[in-house]
Structure 1
Amino acid sequence: MHAFIEYLIKELVSKPEQVVIDEVDEEGTTIYNIGVAQEDMGLVIGKEGNTINSLRNLVKAKAIKDNVRVRIQLNEMYDTN
């Protein structure tokens, strides 16, 4: 799942080398904390949150297929300027 999420995020952003994904297991759910550069936040979120919602739906579909529970959290890392 980690590789799948990483692939999707890195294809969206302008600075894929700055994508960080932390994985935390909490009460049977795997939480993926995704960190991207500040200037990439808008690209990942998308207009009215459409991009991040689509990403969550793709991950949810794969999670159902794999019979696992996942949650995606998006975090702004830092200003790279």
Structure 2
Amino acid sequence: MKALIETIVTPLVDQPEDIVVTETEEDTKIVFHLTVNQNDVGKVIGKNGRIAKSIRTIVYAAKTDTNKRIYLDIM
């Protein structure tokens, strides 16, 4: 899942070397924390959050066979 998030976000940013995806797993959910360069945050979120919503939709659709909820946190 980390590779998927990185693959989606890399073409959107000017500094792809600053992309960091960390995973936190809890009992009922898995949270992915996406961190990009401060100058690229707006590009990843997009106007009115449209790009962020699209990224989340793809990540949620690609969910594995676990029964845990998946969340994507963009910082």
Query: Over the residues paired in the alignment, what is the CA RMSD in angstroms?
Result: 1.0
Q: CA separation in 1, counterparts of 2:51 and 2:74? A: 12
Q: Deviations over 1:38-62 (max 9, x none)?
A: 1101100000000000000011111
| Structure 2 match to 1:50 | 50
Q: What secondary structure does 1:4 align onto?
A: helix
Normalising by structure 1, report the TM-score.
Answer: 0.83
Q: CA separation in 1, counterparts of 2:23 and 2:17? A: 18
Identity %: 34
Q: CA separation in 1, counterparts of 2:18 and 2:38? A: 10
Q: What secondary structure does 1:44 align onto?
A: helix
Which sections of structure 1, spanning at least 5 residues, go unmatched? 76-81
Q: CA separation in 1, counterparts of 2:45 and 2:52? A: 5
Deviation at 1:70, TM superposition (A): 1.1
Which sections of structure 2, spanning at least 5 residues, go unmatched? none
| Structure 2 match to 1:17 | 17
Normalising by structure 2, report the TM-score.
Answer: 0.89
* Alignment coverage as a number of residue pairs: 73
